[in-house]
Amino acid sequence: MNLFTEKEYRIQSQHLAFRLKHLFQNDRNSFNSIVDFLPQPVYVNDRETLEYEVFADVFFSYGQEMELLYEIGIEYLPSISNPHLYQNAINKAKILNLKNDFDEVSDYLQCVSMNGKMVTYFTNKILLNETLSLNTTFSTPTKWIRKSIEANNSMGGRKISSTMATISNLN
């Protein structure tokens, strides 16, 4: 039995992004303290370069790939990401930056290698200020997305474009 519908789950995750944004802007010390206690990873990065400013400690429990991502930086991410979902994430980040809407939460699906296994998760991105964005991740995709990914994989990846179009239309 699910506690939330898919839409409620999405709204709750976006609400958390707004609350963390408010905490970051009003009490940076508390923000820095709390992100390491959240069960889901949180990071803050530069809006243009995508380099990390805050990288929650919980990331390091997800495998050596996350340690390398932190050490090497954003240049390492394409080598451990699903290329189609990675490009979609980059495009959505660019659109959010162009809109410069500080009240919008952009969410998108990502798939990254963790401990040698590809793991799918949602990311919520919200602008903090003129230079930084906040990102929250949730590692439990809904049944619909799991089925879409399984269907895509069983067809050799040919359906990824239609799957991504459907996911993009969720916004």
Q: What is the DSSP string of 104-167?
A: -EEEEEEEEEETTEEEEEEEEEEE-SSSEEEEEEE----HHHHHHHHHHHHTTTTTHHHHHHHH
- Residues whose CB is less than 8 angstroms from the CB of residue 88 and which lie 6 or more positions away in sequence, other chains included: 108, 109, 164, 167, 168
Enumerate domains of the chain plus CATH numbers: 6-141 (3.30.450.20)
> Could you read off the pLDDT tens digit of each residue along the chain, which spans 171 residues?
456 677 787 788 889 999 999 999 999 999 999 998 888 889 999 999 988 899 988 888 888 999 999 999 889 999 999 999 999 999 999 999 999 999 999 999 899 998 889 988 889 999 999 999 999 987 655 454 555 556 556 655 544 444 444 444 433
Enter the tokens of residue 11.
Answer: 């709204």
